Structure formats: structure tokens, C-alpha cells
Amino acid sequence: MSHNRVLYDEAIVRKLFGEMKQQLHEMAARHRAEVESLRRELEQTRALFNQLRATVLARQNAEAEVARLRAIADAHNERLDTTTLH
């Protein structure tokens, strides 16, 4: 019984490592593509969020302006009512 028996042929091991290296390169390329896709999606989501935020702020400003104008109109109407009563 030989204790120095070759378990794997060097050529087979080199071929296996070559295949594994190629698989790692392919996985890295898929990973890069997926990360880039996610970055684009994130940029689009941020742009949509910024649009939504601008719309909400514009609506809030418009509602505040309407409230201000109503207060002015109410004050004007009260003055008209008090001057017509006297």
C-alpha cells in the first residue's frame, strides 16, 4: 500500500480551477449588471420621490394661500356687515 498515491491528476485539478474561475467571473459580471440595474431603479425612485415631494409642497402652499385669502375675505365681509348695520 502506497502512502504517496495521487488522488487527483494535476491536469484535472487545473481544469476544475479554470472552470471555477470562469464561473466566478460570470457571477461577478451578473452581479455588476444587477447592481447597475438597482442603481438605475434607485435613481428613478428618487426622481419620482422628489417630484411627489414638490407636488405635496406646492399643494400645501396652495392650501395655505387659499386659507389666507379666505381669512382676508372673511375679515372684509365682517367689516361690510358691521358698516351696514350702523
- pTM more than 0.75: no
pLDDT digits (tens, 9 = 90+) for 38-59: 999 999 999 999 999 999 999 9
Among 37, 29, 32, smallest CA distance to 21 is for 29
Q: How far is CA 58 from the centre of its chain?
A: 22
Grid cell of 55 as nine digits: 407636488
Higher pLDDT, 80 or 32: 32
> Rg of the chain's alpha carbons, rounded to an integer?
37
Domain positions in the chain are 9-86
